[in-house]
Amino acid sequence: MSDPVLRRLPKAALGALIARLGQTHTVRGPRVRDGAIVFGEVEAAEDLPRGWTDAQGPGRYRLEREGEAVFEGYVVGPDSPKRAHFPAREVLYTAERRADGKVGFAPVEATPGRTAWLGVRACDLAAERVRGAVFEAGGEPRPAARGREDLRVAVSCTKPGELCFCASTGTGPRAGEGADLVLTEREDDFLIEAPSEAGKAVLADLPVEPAEEGAEAWLDAAMEAAEGAMGRAVEMDGLPEKLLGRLDHPRWDEVAERCLACGNCTSVCPTCFCSTTESPVAISATGIGTVEGGAVEVGAGEAAQVRLWDSCFTEEHAYMHGGTLRPTVKARYRQWLTHKVGSWVAQFGTSGCVGCGRCIAWCPVGIDLTEEIAALREGEGELALPVLREAPLEDEDLVPSVAEVVGVRRESADVVTLRVKSERLAGFGPGQFTQLSLPGVGEAPISISGEEAGAIEHTIRGVGAVTKALCALEEGDELGVRGPYGRGWPMEALEGAPVVVVAGGIGLAPLRDALRKMVGSPASYPEVHLVYGARTPDDVLYAQEMLGWLGGPHFRLHVTVDRAAPSWRGHIGVVTRLLDEESVPEGARAILCGPEIMMRFTVEALGKLGVPDERIWVTMERHMECATGTCGRCQLGPYFVCRDGPVFRFDQVRALFGQEGF
């Protein structure tokens, strides 16, 4: 700590502290409301819950009268500063789509709250750092911006609660990092220290005096005693590998019997960050979303992009074209726990658990994650997956840029290629994707299928509301674009060896740009085989273009369809039937895109033909919304498909490939 000098603040001076904080900030601190201690506005010392204690147990929280302490009688309640920095519901931008097909987007800025948080605990400070790491990695500045001018007047816990285990997670009980002032409550006074410059400035105006000799030693002893007095303990060591290696542990079935999948744990967790977005249109000028600190006015006919707290316990969280990846409670609980105390470490360099115990208290049926972890530690199996995460994204704007449709080409009955002019998308790589949006309809991740005459092409199959609306666009219309996003095809790793490209259906679209580059550079890519399966001959994409590629001696085309009229002279059946020594030459590398089931059989067939996992790349598809790794939805074990993929080398994902719920 920068200033180890301890001072004494008489209890009677608490009002002076609150008044001093109130000169520059809105003071929010513990308040009794509806049977719990939550954060609320504090104007005087009398507002604080002096003489209250919280009796907490799994699924149980009761306030009782006991003692005279101001802070020490209780620990954390269901609320945390997360709500202020990462609101439960916020408008990211407003948007309009006019009758002439033009669109507009107006960002809603996050304004600093200037809140002085009185009585936050070490776990709350740790949680803010964890959230900071999450949003920083995704280049999402709003949560940090909201807290930038806040003050944090923390309390070190000398009396941890029944459900506390911050000593196990290394995040408490002593508050310091991230705090501007730290209080430790004693019977007659507080010890106070100021780790930050802002805290020192406040301290200078308070009636403090130097702490007595031995106060330092008293504090150390009190903290050590507190560490030993935690009601819960967890062995965190090795959890990422152990949990990922025990996906078939019987405990998951057992906890799934009790779990309600209601989302209370994730909602009270100070680090859970999963969110979703909605794109409502105001029918009348009544406004849509309310952001803490002011409502956003939305005019009639205008749209808004609203972000709201979601949970991995909802069905919709892992929803992909027609079904959810996690229909069972078991799969959802397993996703939550393997992420929270497991894969979080690979993603953000820290565990997602700060040991506050909120998820235990506020679970309506009292599921105790410390018990679940202990049970899961009893077992066999460990799995370590490589960390793929690269540098944080920089100021990744979630507000789309306006782009113009400069051409529309119909590829088949339900597939259209949109040609889009957009500077934002310049410099994309083959296999990357964008987020295309229409105000009031929504946003969808779409792969880039190439560039021609300065226009970036997206080949889209109209299946849902958004993709159907995109397919209906006409030349001259506008839409929103974000991107380019994700890790594309490994063009360098493919050089010099025969390349087998295996595509199923619309899966040819993300491969098209890579194919064009390879066909155009025979020196780098001496032998290219495209093995392509479509539903019917009419569904074959880019037929004319592919015929053109056949002119080069280094390109071979193998096509099969699921069904066809008798006049079809080509193959009928699955793509794997086209994989043989001829289409998969010795030393080949393979890149795959198609339905997961197709890729699974393809990988198997390639393996039999001598292509190892390390020379196969696949594109994974999961529910993506933000595309920046901050909405939490497209997780595949430790990976975010939007950031670490969508293209993965197969050996990196084999262990999770086809695994239920991942």
Partner 1 sequence: MGAGSEGSASGAGAKVRLGVFKLASCDGCQLQLLSCEDELLALTEHVEIVSFAEATSRPDDGGPLDLTLVEGSVSTEAQREHLQEVRARSRFLVTIGACATAGGIQALRNGRDVGELLRVVYAQPAYVDTLAESTPVADHVPVDFSLRGCPIDKGQLLELIGALLAGRKPAIRDESVCMECKRSGQVCVMVAKGEACLGPVTHAGCGALCPTFGRGCYGCFGPKEGAQVAALGARFEAEGMDAETRRRRFKLFTGWAPAFREESER
| Residues of span 298-337 touching partner 1 by CB under 8 A | 299-303, 308-311, 314-316, 327-329
Q: Is the dihedral of CA 547, 552, 553, 554 positive or negative?
A: negative
Residue 474 in the binding site for partner 1 (CB under 8 A): no
144, HSE (Cβ side, Cα atoms, 13 Å): 15
Q: Binding partner 1 by CB under 8 A: which of 49, 172, 173, 442? A: 442
Q: Least distance in Å: CB of 288 to partner 1?
A: 10
Q: Binding partner 1 by CB under 8 A: which of 70, 137, 268, 455? A: 268
Q: Tell me the CA end-to-end span of the chain in Å, nearest whole number.
A: 42
Identity (one letter) of the amino acid at 476?
A: G
b/e sequence 31-64, b meaning 16+ C-beta within 10 Å: bbeeebbbbeebeebebbbbebbbebebeebebe
Instruction: Considering only residues 171 through 200, tell me which ones interact with partner 1, judged by CB under 8 A.
Output: none
Residue 271 in the binding site for partner 1 (CB under 8 A): no
Q: Binding partner 1 by CB under 8 A: which of 440, 450, 484, 510? A: 440
User: Which residue do the tokens 């507000």 mark?
Assistant: 399
Nearer to partner 1, 98 or 410 (CB): 98
DSSP state of 77: -
CA distance 662 to 331: 8
Residue 465 in the binding site for partner 1 (CB under 8 A): yes
Q: Least distance in Å: CB of 462 to partner 1?
A: 11
Q: Least distance in Å: CB of 104 to partner 1?
A: 7
Instruction: Considering only residues 94 through 133, tell me which ones interact with partner 1, judged by CB under 8 A.
Output: 94, 96-99, 101, 104, 106
Site string for partner 1, 7-36 (x = CB under 8 A): --------------------------xxxx
DSSP state of 343: I
Omega into 30 within 30° of 0, i.e. cis? no
Nearer to partner 1, 278 or 582 (CB): 278
Q: Least distance in Å: CB of 619 to partner 1?
A: 25
β-strand partners of 434: 446
Nearer to partner 1, 267 or 432 (CB): 267
Instruction: Considering only residues 346 through 365, tell me which ones interact with partner 1, judged by CB under 8 A.
Output: 361-365
Residue 263 in the binding site for partner 1 (CB under 8 A): yes
Nearer to partner 1, 245 or 464 (CB): 464
Residue 260 in the binding site for partner 1 (CB under 8 A): yes
Q: Binding partner 1 by CB under 8 A: which of 10, 293, 464, 585? A: 464
Cβ contact 289:306 at 8 Å = yes
Nearer to partner 1, 460 or 508 (CB): 460
Q: Least distance in Å: CB of 557 to partner 1?
A: 38
Residue 284 in the binding site for partner 1 (CB under 8 A): yes
CA distance 213 to 253: 56
Residue 625 in the binding site for partner 1 (CB under 8 A): no
Residue 286 in the binding site for partner 1 (CB under 8 A): yes
Cβ contact 240:638 at 8 Å = yes
Residues 6+ apart with CB under 8 A from 398: 92, 93, 140, 305, 482, 626, 628
- Burial label for 414, CB within 10 Å (0-12, 13-18, 19+), is middle
Residue 264 in the binding site for partner 1 (CB under 8 A): yes
Residue 293 in the binding site for partner 1 (CB under 8 A): no
Give helix 329-338 / helix 369-377 axis angle, nearest 10°: 90
